[in-house]
Amino acid sequence: MPEIELRGITKRFGKVTAAENINLKIRDGEYVTVLGPSGCGKTTLVKILSGIWEPTEGDCFIDGRKVTGIPTYERDLGYIFQNIALFPHMTVWQNANYAPIVKDWDREEADKVTTESLELVKSLRRKGFKPFELSGGEKQKVGIARALCAGSKLLILDEPLSALDARVRLELRYEIKRLVKERGLTAIHVTHDQEEAMSTSDRIVLMRAGRIVEVETPENLYNRPKNLFTANFIGEANFIEGSILQCGTGEIAECKTGPLSECGSDECIMETRHKHRLVIKNPAGQFKVGHGVVVMVRPENLSISHDEKEHSLEGRITDKIFMGSFIRYRVGLVTDDTVLVEVPEADDKIFNIGEKVNVKFRPKKLLVYPQPMEGLKEVLSLE
Amino acid sequence: MPEIRIEKLRKAFGGLVAVDSLDLQVRDGEYLTILGPTGAGKTTLLRLIAGLEEQTSGSIFIDGKCVNSLPPEDRKVTFLSQTYSLFPHMDAWQNTIFGPTARGWDPEKVEIIGREMLEMVHLYERKDALPNELSGGMQQRNALARALCADAKILLLDEPLRALDARLRLDLRYELKKLVKDMGMTAIHVTHDQEEALTISDRIIMLRSGKVIQSGPPQEIFNKPESPFIHHFIGEANFIEGTITGKGERGARLTGQSGRTYDVAPTELKVGTKAVAGIKTEFTIVGKEPRDGVNDFPGTVQRKLFLGRFTDYDLILDNGHNVHARLPSSVAHKFDEGDRVNVHMDPERLLVFPVPGKGLAKELEMM
Amino acid sequence: MEIGKRISSFISRKSTIKAWYGFIVVFFILVIILPTLFVLSYAITGWDEAGGEIFAEPSEPEFTLVPIGEGNTSATFSCPDIIDITLPTSIKVDVQTDRIALVGYSIVDVGDNHIHYYHADIDVNGTQTYWLNISANSTYNEIRHVGEATQIFYIMTYDTLPSGGHQELPLELRAGSVSPWTMIKSSIVNAFAIATVVTVIDFIAGLPMAWIMVRKNFRGKQYLDTLIDMPLAIPTAALGFSTALFWAVTPGVDAWGSLSLVSSPMLLIILLHIVFSYPYMVRSLAAILHEIDVNYEVAAQTLGAPPLTVARTITLPLFRAGLVTGIILCFARSLSETGGTIMALAMLTPGLADMAYPMQTGPTLIGAWKHAGGFEPQLAFTSMLLVVISLVLLVIVKIVVMRFKMPLRKVFPGPERLFSKGIFPKLKDGMAFAFMFIVLIIPSFFIISFAFTGDPVPVDWGPFWSSMGFSFLVAGVITVLNILFGVPLAILIVRGKNKALSNILDVLVNVPLIVPTSALGVSLGMFWGSVNIELAVFLVIMAHLAFTFPLIVRNVAGSLEELDPTYEETARTLGAKPMFVFKKVMYPSIKFSILAGAIMAFTRSLGETGATLAVVKNANTVPVYIVDLVKAGTYYPAALACIMLIIITFIAMMAMRYITRKAEK
């Protein structure tokens, strides 16, 4: 069964390092997504795994077999391309039938597998069509069928949906996940789309500038990101900078922040810009007085009101966007930070642009990180 | 004031009609989005307005003046492609002052206005940078400064965010709208991304097969779609086919093909007519207990997909109906695959449409 | 300022632009296409005149059997039935011997009793045929008397039997006039046979090289790139000299390192034509290979297909368009080539008159006839045939290549897997490189060896510089005209609103590229002659303009196609008039391809022989000058002139590379 291991993979193109010392293990039957901004080295990784490129250093193992130096056509994997790359001179059937033919399978067996695969992606009725007669989504389905026909248990998806319309993309990503799971395949999917990554994968490998940032399940990446870049890349997030003013000693009376917020023994008070205060959690006593910290909170974990004062910062609504089932407000805070707040559309209270509001930061919804050395902007940068 | 009026506009390429007797009015300062699937004629419409294609028939008025026979350079609209078409061999400064230079304005004046525009988009320090040395966001700002500099008050944007990374797109679409608004421009933005359309527009025009099928502010398009296609295209919807059989508790009543009845939103359709009812997945509510007995259906969770902000559910109702639901992730942890749940469909949200001409499946086809 | 504005707005007016484009199209049709194809009109106007002359079969020639004894023996015959010949004429001689034989003839002009000898040293085995073409005022223009002449043929054999012994052999001599048709036929068959063989070899040897160029990354790739193009920088006359010197048995001249292997004219010409057509093949194949998304190949590999299978089932079928271009370019180049071919022939068989070469190709025959003068119907007819056959062949090649299907179903997994691995790919690459060095690079530059090792002779540079001046004048003028008219035509082809017109123009532009330049020259001469223009400079310029015009149009059109039209459209919507858009947006992006096209046209014009020879009789361009030097046996100055020419074109070529590379950055 396909089990993948990358050991110390480094790839350099001249002076440019596309991937630096990548170590990664993928279990059998796992759906793993390699996610990251353009140029982070994610495609390099799968190209090396599939043997299209050779690594400068390090080795790949498929099922414990070292595949470095083994040509692509002997690695036994299915590859799905961003630009689909259906052979333009062949019909849908010939495309799907290609792998069985070049592998010299028994004719009957070959046709059976091809029929099956095309049926699986609901494209059998198009078997006499040439690629140019198909829409983008249909083409990619055939691309998937073609890869499945090769009979491999390892599927590499290299930005398979990027070239498609937004709507088609949504439909196809479920289709792909279903196929992979039904067939019990191991899949490695490369994308720059965090939503696509979360919706399809068991685990996400987040990359940046040739290095792995974090390897985690989608839930953990979204809810408990280990670093600031992850927090920002994996979904929209608000960040507020400040420093620890006081740490809870258990004596509640000591640490009132402003009039109403209280801080418990495992909590700290953080001072933001313009000397406003927020209460944050400090479970392991990680932060000490004077430490610079950054607070991250997701827009849907903030709430706004007119009168709620506890754990709140004042602000003024600068923008209001209808997003379907929820409304997104952009609020300029007294700390000079701008935060996004998302509330369900069905909420009775609708606020208007220009209104003065209080934004509530519930301590347990806040994630706190030490202030990055390079500066916050640098760490969050998407480009 | 820049105001666009389009009357009976038609464009055919050979036998293929790309834009079909289309009427449209764009107000001054409006941010309008043209949304539709590939091949709906969105880009052709933009090119017609810009004067890059000649219409087969119909008229285009800008500021009340018919521009049918005006060449693109005299229309005062700026067309920007996916990559913003910043001239690759010119630096930010040269790009910015392209319009005034082309019109032969006084160099001193050009100098002043160019500087003003570049400073407005915070790019003056980078004025010597070539486009490929600028980040995606800077290129966007440069392109807008150039358009404004050219004295164009109308911006035509052809899928301007498509080439960007998904995450970056979220940031830049906000920035794009903000700049356009700050600069007081009128924008027509073409996209196939319904979320982008919802978040960026003052008004959305839904285009399909060269025709406007609905026009209105995002909220209206989302909440009051005029056809099952729009209902499904903006967000995603579950559909029930059946017949109107009478009045329900809060609206009309629809009897599905399985004989099961649903309370649906009020409709003008007569009792006995075949109809389609649809509800957005966001409003298909999953809970442990039945709500109030109206449109409450027991079912089982088949699949659960975490999307971050939301979690998507595939459910099978005990009546055999497959439905999708989208829940905020904060409540989603309560339900897992295989769990027995109750699915509630608010009758107000279960919108009724006449059965589309070519059948529901054909109506909903995206590709 | 006011006036400038007015002019610019006038230029940008829709009607002005339309009129300008109209003018360009008319110019193109009238000055390039019509003259190029004018010779076809000959089928209607000149048929009666030509029919009799070309197809008239002379009476059955007589046979004389002559026994030849031991030692140096010569036999002299008089041919009674051609004693009274009317010039010009062609005489066919059949020789059968297995010795080294000297074949020659002499003409005794009754008028002044001069005797002129023509002879050739030829290794004869079996039966060979020679044409001795005699014209009224050929290079040996002492023969002025048209009317009576006595033909005396003699055969001499040396006593060098392979066995060393002596033997009495029968020697058969046939003499008699042949119809021009026979000569035309065999010269055209030769030309097409050579072109076919050359194209096939180019393809076989060029494909692996194109593959290496596009799909492989290695150090020094850009040098290889330059190396492949090098033969293009050398005028074909110089190439002919250099190649013949390297490969052939060349009596009368030798250089250090010369192989002296080849004595068959056919083989030598093939070797020569490969040198200058191979780069075209590699370039076209590489261009299309570059266009083919590498992902198709990668996809096939991930599906389990070894490289050879991928090449057969995926790449080659996708490749057809490039194949057609490559084939047509090679074919047309080989079919057109005159200067180098004449050089090679002259060096194999020194001392022969043009028409006495043991082998003729279409262009050399045209050159010879034109030079001799008085063969107008023959010239027109030959050119017409060349044009028609080329065009027909173009269509056939296109159809055949596009229809041809690679066997998809049938695969040979075993052998293809085997040959895809281990030593075989390396062997293939190694052979591709070896071929390139031995067949291309060394022969191209072998002339340098001669310059160092040949016997220096004092050289009179006067005529060289005067011919150089003429060549530069022609090349300069056509380059300017090309830019002036070629760029707008390219814009019209790529950006034109009327697609039908664009497509027609696109096809027409290629016509001068396909038509052999000699035929083109003849056609042009006829066209301008028909309107009574016979000024040599003008005719040469027009001829060179015709065959270089496609180069610049193709170049500019190619880069325009690459240029995203949204830049121009955006510029328009920003308020720029068409002229301004051209100046500020389009021109900066295509200026390098304009320059590249211009330099290509310039060097091509500098190196062209065939069209020059065909359009006027005594044109004085550098290649013609060099050819004449070699024919006269003055090799050393010829070699120096060649090297001078190579250096000049090389500098131009390097400038182009430098500029285009800079543009890419």
pLDDT digits (tens, 9 = 90+) for B272-308: 889 999 999 999 999 988 887 788 999 999 988 888 8
Domain edges within chain B: 4-228, 236-355
Do A189 and A136 share a structural domain?
A: yes
| Of A204, A233, A262, the domain-final residue | A233
Q: Does the residue A381 lie in any domain?
A: no
Do C328 and C215 share a structural domain?
A: yes
Average pLDDT on C530-544 reads 85
* pLDDT of B1: 53
CATH number of B4-228: 3.40.50.300
Do C536 and C612 share a structural domain?
A: yes
Q: Which residue has the higher pLDDT, C151 or C574?
A: C574
Domain count, chain A: 2
| Of C123, C154, C178, the domain-final residue | C178
Question: Looking at beta carbons, which residues of chain A come within 8 Å of B166?
Answer: 191-196
Asked whether the predicted pLDDT for residue B183 surpasses 90, the reply is: no
* pLDDT of C665: 56
Of C295, C296, C304, nearest to A102 by CB-CB distance is C304
- CB contact at 8 A, B215 and B206: yes
Helix (H) or strand (E) run with residue A190 in it: strand A186-191
Helix (H) or strand (E) run with residue C333 in it: helix C320-336
Do C260 and C174 share a structural domain?
A: no
* pLDDT of C157: 42
Do A157 and A133 share a structural domain?
A: yes
Do C216 and C117 share a structural domain?
A: no
Q: State how far residue C398 is from chain A, nearest Cα, in angstroms.
A: 17
pLDDT exceeding 70 applies to what percent of chain A? 94
Which of A27-36, A256-265, C118-127, C297-306 shows the lowest mean pLDDT across its residues? C118-127
Do C236 and C110 share a structural domain?
A: no
CB-CB under 8 Å, B328 with A344 = yes
pLDDT digits (tens, 9 = 90+) for C621-635: 888 888 888 887 788
Cα B279 from Cα B299, distance rounded (Å): 17
- CB contact at 8 A, A213 and A207: yes
Instruction: Mark which residues 233-272 of A lie under 8 Å from B by CB.
Output: 233-236
Mean pLDDT across chain C, nearest whole number? 76
Asked whether the predicted pLDDT for residue C137 surpasses 50, the reply is: no
What pTM does this model have? 0.79
Q: State how far residue B252 is from chain C, nearest Cα, in angstroms.
A: 52
* pLDDT of C84: 38
Strand partners, C118: C105
Closest residue of chain C to B157, computed from CA coordinates: C570
Do C174 and C256 share a structural domain?
A: no
Do C141 and C114 share a structural domain?
A: yes
**Domain B236-355 fold:** OB fold (Dihydrolipoamide Acetyltransferase, E2P) (2.40.50)
| Of A187, A210, A233, the domain-final residue | A233
CB-CB under 8 Å, B137 with A383 = yes
* pLDDT of B33: 95
CB-CB under 8 Å, B152 with C576 = no
Residues whose CB falls within 8 Å of the CB of residue C448, separated by 6 or more in sequence, listed in order: C643
Task: Kindly indicate the confidence band of residue B140, based on its pLDDT and cuts at 50, 70 and 90.
Answer: confident
Which of C375-384, C487-496, C651-660 shows the lowest mean pLDDT across its residues? C651-660
Question: Looking at beta carbons, which residues of chain B come within 8 Å of A193?
Answer: 165-167
Residues whose CB falls within 8 Å of the CB of residue C287, separated by 6 or more in sequence, listed in order: C322, C325
Do A327 and A184 share a structural domain?
A: no
Of C301, C408, C411, nearest to A73 by CB-CB distance is C301
Cα C132 from Cα C119, distance rounded (Å): 10
Do C603 and C659 share a structural domain?
A: yes
Asked whether the predicted pLDDT for residue C166 surpasses 50, the reply is: no
Sort residue A277 into left (φ over 0), alpha (ψ -120 to 50) or beta: beta
* pLDDT of C659: 72
Task: Kindly indicate the confidence band of residue A238, based on its pLDDT and cuts at 50, 70 and 90.
Answer: very high
CATH number at residue A293: 2.40.50.100
* Torsion sign (Cα): B279, B283, B289, B290: negative
Domain count, chain C: 3
- Domain of residue C585: give its range: 459-665
Q: Report residue C281 as tokens.
A: 């093949």
CB-CB under 8 Å, A146 with C301 = no
Q: Does the residue C44 lie in any domain?
A: no
Asked whether the predicted pLDDT for residue A320 surpasses 50, the reply is: yes
Say what the alpha-carbon torsion angle C216, C221, C227, C228 is, to the nearest 10 degrees. 20
Question: Looking at beta carbons, which residues of chain C come within 8 Å of B147?
Answer: 574
Q: Report residue A67 as tokens.
A: 């595949």
Do C443 and C469 share a structural domain?
A: no
Asked whether the predicted pLDDT for residue C600 surpasses 50, the reply is: yes
Average pLDDT on C205-221 reads 85
Single-letter code of the amino acid located at A157: L
Closest by CA position to C135, among listed C379, C372, C368, C355 = C372
* pLDDT of C172: 44
* pLDDT of C194: 93
CATH number at residue A159: 3.40.50.300
**What's the complex ipTM?**
0.86
pLDDT digits (tens, 9 = 90+) for C465-515: 888 889 989 998 999 999 989 999 999 998 888 888 888 888 888 888 888
pLDDT digits (tens, 9 = 90+) for B26-71: 999 999 999 988 888 899 999 999 999 889 999 999 988 999 988 8
Q: Does the residue C372 lie in any domain?
A: no
Helix (H) or strand (E) run with residue A242 in it: strand A238-247
Do C218 and C344 share a structural domain?
A: yes
Q: Does the residue C614 lie in any domain?
A: yes
* pLDDT of C168: 42
Do A247 and A367 share a structural domain?
A: yes
Give the DSSP letter of residue B356: P
Cα C538 from Cα C149, distance rounded (Å): 38
Asked whether the predicted pLDDT for residue C58 surpasses 70, the reply is: no
* pLDDT of B363: 86
* pLDDT of C51: 64
Asked whether the predicted pLDDT for residue B217 surpasses 90, the reply is: yes
Closest residue of chain B to C583, computed from CA coordinates: B102
Q: Which residue has the higher pLDDT, B82 or B155?
A: B155
pLDDT exceeding 90 applies to what percent of chain C? 7
Closest by CA position to C313, among listed C300, C295, C327 = C300
Give the DSSP letter of residue C455: P
CATH number at residue C244: 1.10.3720.10
Asked whether the predicted pLDDT for residue C150 surpasses 50, the reply is: no
How far out from the chain centre does Cα C217 lie?
33
Do A351 and A308 share a structural domain?
A: yes
Cα B312 from Cα B329, distance rounded (Å): 9
Closest by CA position to B127, among listed B169, B94, B79 = B94
- Domain of residue A116: give its range: 4-233
Strand partners, C103: C120, C155
| Of A175, A210, A233, the domain-final residue | A233
Do C291 and C167 share a structural domain?
A: no
Strand partners, A21: none
Q: Angle, nearest 10°, between helix axes C221-233 and C180-215?
A: 160
Chains contacting C with at least 3 CB pairs below 8 Å?
A: A, B
Question: Looking at beta carbons, which residues of chain C come within 8 Å of A83?
Answer: 293, 295
Do A125 and A58 share a structural domain?
A: yes
Asked whether the predicted pLDDT for residue A291 surpasses 50, the reply is: yes
Q: Strands of B340-345's sheet, edge to edge?
A: B284-287, B340-345, B296-306, B310-317, B322-328
Helix (H) or strand (E) run with residue A211 in it: strand A211-216
Q: Does the residue C393 lie in any domain?
A: no
Please indicate if any CB of chain C lies within 8 Å of the CB of B150.
Answer: yes
Question: Looking at beta carbons, which residues of chain A come within 8 Å of C421?
Answer: 71
CB-CB under 8 Å, A382 with B167 = yes
pLDDT exceeding 90 applies to what percent of chain B? 42
pLDDT digits (tens, 9 = 90+) for C234-292: 888 888 888 988 888 877 677 777 777 787 888 999 999 999 899 888 888 888 888 88
Question: Looking at beta carbons, which residues of chain A come within 8 Å of C296?
Answer: 85, 87-88
Do A294 and A213 share a structural domain?
A: no
> Got the DSSP string for B156-219?
EEESTTTTS-HHHHHHHHHHHHHHHHHTT-EEEEEES-HHHHHHH-SEEEEEETTEEEEEE-HH
| CB-count exposure of residue C301 (10 Å: 0-12, 13-18, 19+) | buried
Please indicate if any CB of chain B lies within 8 Å of the CB of A132.
Answer: no
Q: Does the residue A188 lie in any domain?
A: yes
Cα A213 from Cα A40, distance rounded (Å): 11
Q: Is A214 helix (H, G, I), strand (E, B) or coil?
A: strand
Average pLDDT on C637-654 reads 83
Q: Does the residue A380 lie in any domain?
A: no
How far out from the chain centre does Cα C575 lie?
48
Asked whether the predicted pLDDT for residue C154 surpasses 60, the reply is: no
pLDDT digits (tens, 9 = 90+) for A78-95: 999 988 889 988 899 999
Please indicate if any CB of chain B lies within 8 Å of the CB of A169.
Answer: no
* pLDDT of C309: 84
Mean pLDDT across chain A, nearest whole number? 88
Q: Does the residue C384 lie in any domain?
A: no
Q: Strands of B154-158's sheet, edge to edge?
A: B77-80, B154-158, B186-191, B31-35, B203-208, B211-216
Provide the pairing of β-strand B186-191 with B154-158: parallel
Q: Does the residue C378 lie in any domain?
A: no
pLDDT digits (tens, 9 = 90+) for C29-56: 888 888 888 888 877 777 776 666 667 6
Q: State how far residue C7 is from chain B, nearest Cα, in angstroms.
A: 13
